[in-house]
Amino acid sequence: MKCPRDGTELKKHQIDGVNVESCKTCSGIFLKKGELNKIAHPLAGDLEYSTLENMDPTRQSELKCPACENINMIDVNFLSFSDIIMKYCSECEGMWLDGGELKAINREIDKLNDDTDNWQHSLRAFTARLPF
């Protein structure tokens, strides 16, 4: 498998006991289906599902899937609302993260976990305003 950005041969690399393919030139990593949920910090809910449910298949990336080669990947925002743009392959359901994006994703998750209390509080406030 070759890096979709620079053509460097991807090497196996372990993150939290999960084997991913990574590029030593640009530090990008390729994740197979389900692997994002395993290597990212824990958050209530399914990260991949939450990321892909609002995917817009017309947002084609210039990057080709390293596993499928002739398939252009699709730009998807991590958890839909963040400004982290990951690449998703609709063929093999793999994902490409550029160098540093996994760190950014974990920062985002930590922030959400910290905000959970606030978030539940505002949800309660919202529910209290409903007329039933």
Residues in contact with Zn ion, shown as a per-residue x/- string from 32 to 51 under the rule CB under 5 A = --------------------
Q: Does 68 bind Zn ion (CB under 5 A)?
A: yes
Query: Which residue, 13, 54, 51, 6, is CA-closest to 30?
Result: 13
- Cβ proximity to Zn ion: between 67 and 109 the closer is 67
**Residue appearing with tokens 């529910």:** 127
DSSP 77: E
**Residue appearing with tokens 């505002």:** 122
In angstroms, give the least distance from the CB of 126 to Zn ion.
Answer: 40
Instruction: Read off the tokens for 82.
Output: 């963040």
Q: Which residues would be at the binding site for Zn ion (CB under 5 A)? A: 3, 5-6, 8, 23, 25-26, 28, 65, 67-68, 89, 91-92, 94
